[in-house]
Amino acid sequence: MLRVITGSAKGRKLKVPRGHSVRPTPEIARGALFNILGETVTGSRFLDLFAGSGSIGIEALSRGASYAAFVELNPSVCKILAQNLERCGFTPVSRIYSLDAVAFLPILLRSEAPFDVVFLDPPYEGTFCQKFLTQLPQYDIVTDTGLVVAQHFFKCKELESFSPYHLQRRQRFGDTVLSFFSRS
């Protein structure tokens, strides 16, 4: 089981889907992610794509995000995510979309305001990260001062920039890399 690292839900245990090829973000990487984001999270609107158990978005809510949207394709994984949100008391300030993340972008543009932080953790196989990141700018779902954070396999080298976003920072944790992008 995962646990929430800090904030209002500190120590709460989160269920992890079994047998669904869900790869939760390691605790050390989650901790580093939120240390890097710092006060950016407080009061933010947070988008957790390829959400799985929801540990990243839940950690954001625990640390003071005002709202989090979660996108996860697998309906049975979404049920576990909903249980995790309820367990932490975050159901009223969150929404789960059981959709493909790329197909979700046009829906998001119509139904949600822009987000301050967009986090994505697509499957490590294939080019999911690259495909998603190259499509993201046309939907304008990130605030002008917002950040896009991609978790990806360390061998994925194509993630340098995608107009108008530029790589600001990259940090590696074993096979996992967090890449931070902004418009400036």
At 20 the pLDDT is 54
* Amino acid (1-letter code) at residue 26: P
At 131 the pLDDT is 78
* Amino acid (1-letter code) at residue 154: F
Q: How many CB atoms lie within 10 A of CB 163?
A: 8
At 48 the pLDDT is 96
- Strand-strand pairing, 67-71 and 142-153: unpaired
Retrieve residue 65's tokens: 């995000």
Domain 2-182 CATH (choose: 3.30.1330.10, 3.30.1370.60, 3.40.50.150, 2.60.40.1190): 3.40.50.150
The tens-digit pLDDT sequence of the chain (184 residues) is: 789 999 999 999 999 988 656 678 888 899 999 999 999 999 999 999 999 999 999 999 999 999 999 999 999 999 999 999 999 999 999 999 999 888 888 887 777 869 999 999 887 776 777 778 888 888 888 999 999 999 988 777 666 777 788 999 999 988 888 999 998 7
SS3 of residue 38 by DSSP: helix
Retrieve residue 51's tokens: 């959400």
At 184 the pLDDT is 74
User: What residues does each domain of the chain span?
Assistant: 2-182
The model's pTM is 0.93
